[in-house]
Structure 1
Amino acid sequence: MTGKEIFALQEQVAFFNDQQAFKQLFRHYYTGLFQFAAAIVKVKEVAEEIVGDVFVKIWNKRSTIANISNLSVYLYVSVKNQCLNYVSRQGDASIMDLNQLDVICGELVPNPEDLMVASELLQLINKSIHELPPRCRIVYKLVKEDGLTYKEVAEVLNISPRTVENHIAVAVRKIAASLNIDFSAYNKTSSFLSK
């Protein structure tokens, strides 16, 4: 879903109390938000409740949803804050470290085009994604699977966009290394083009 389509749905919800538009937003964001919450709170039911509560609060204040310029960041930050509140109420008042997050990245599922790719290659890619360091894996998931921009991920995780870029670079290098892909030719070409 494009940013324009999401904003159009936000306006439908805000101005016309459109429940179908709200359901579309819910379906679009739920899985990514749930996986993000589950990585923090470590309890499936609590993660489901937190994400549900965030959407209930949005529905209750639906007249203001059109004022949210970036709904993705707003939702991820809201879920993160609710999760951290839950964690602190449980007696673990320590600041949540991204290295503690055990986010589950989605599996690459072959579509008709992917059927030509050997299943061994897909397994190797999935294995290398799951072996990424936790901090790198959550950044990879938010960027590559949930479609957030580097700037949005930086806002959600309170890190710089440059740090997000570095994590993605590390992830790509590690995945490429596991596939024995040599980026040295690309690096020479890109350095030549940047001159």
Structure 2
Amino acid sequence: MNNPQRISNEQEILKLVSEGNSDAFRTLYMHYYDRLFQFAMMFLRSEPASEDVVEDVFYNLWKDRHTLTSIPNFHPYIYQAIRNGCLNILKSGYISKRGDIPETELQVSISTHTPLDELSYKELHKAVKQAIASLPERCRIIFKMAKEDEMSHREIAEALDVKVCTVERQILIAKAKIKEAIQPFLENI
């Protein structure tokens, strides 16, 4: 599922999974897989390794399903599990971090009326994408978790094992860099 929204009845689904309901587990898996895979890719830059981490996390969730209902906040919990899996892979030397940054799609919808408007929009979109791609890794991860996965600052802090003020500071840095990147476009309006 490519839906950034949370499952409306997540606690009920977790309860069903904990009782061994494979359909509920499939719903949970399909809802989170794409976002968790992209999250792992930010750390690992390797599709096979990212797939392995996500699959391992879901395997462990199923294996220990009876403990699911004791997890107070599942959303940051599952992101932290992915983060820890990625860090374990990086520590093991299975893959090495690379400097290349995957493209990110921004969900911006602007109606374009003329070819010049469309060209300006494409240039603006490209500038925003480049600004996000040029962010330091931690800043980029936090920004994407907040904007694409719609996680709260507290949830991001829990998932990444950092302080909430660190999350807030990184988001401010990201917004400042993006604002700086789009400033030339605002001057032309």
TM range (shorter): 0.7 to 0.9
Partner residue in 2 for 1:89: 92
Give the counterpart of 2:106 among 108, 112, 134: 108
Q: Map 1:25-104; keep pairs closer than 5 Å.
A: 25-90=28-93, 104=102
Write the distance in 1 (CA, Å) between the matches of 2:147 and 2:71: 23
Write the distance in 1 (CA, Å) between the matches of 2:101 and 2:78: 17
Contact 2:77–2:158 under 8 Å retained in 1: no
Query: CA offsets per residue over residues 93-144 of structure 1, 9 Å max, x none?
Result: xxx9xxx88664631255xx53447333222222221122222111101111
Partner residue in 1 for 2:127: 124
Partner residue in 1 for 2:115: none
Write the distance in 2 (CA, Å) between the matches of 1:154 and 1:103: 23
Q: Secondary structure of the equivalent of 1:69?
A: coil
Q: Secondary structure of the equivalent of 2:104?
A: coil
User: Could you say what the CA RMSD is over the residues aligned between the two structures, in angstroms?
Assistant: 2.7
Contact 1:130–1:137 under 8 Å retained in 2: yes
Q: Which amino acid aligns with 1:162?
A: C
Contact 2:131–2:177 under 8 Å retained in 1: yes
Contact 1:101–1:134 under 8 Å retained in 2: no
Q: Structure 1: state its 5+ residue gaps.
A: 182-195
Partner residue in 2 for 1:20: 23
**Is 1:6 equivalent to 2:4 in the alignment?**
no
Write the distance in 1 (CA, Å) between the matches of 2:100 and 2:12: 34
How many equivalent pairs are there? 172
Which aligned segments of 4 or more residues in structure 1 are displaced greater than 3 angstroms? Answer: 1-4, 100-105, 113-117
Q: Map 1:128-143; keep pairs closer than 5 Å.
A: 128-143=131-146
Partner residue in 2 for 1:192: none
Query: CA offsets per residue over residues 6-41 of structure 1, 9 Å max, x none?
Result: 2221122123x3323222221222222222223333
How far 1:152 sits from its partner (Å)? 1.5
Write the distance in 2 (CA, Å) between the matches of 1:172 and 1:109: 16
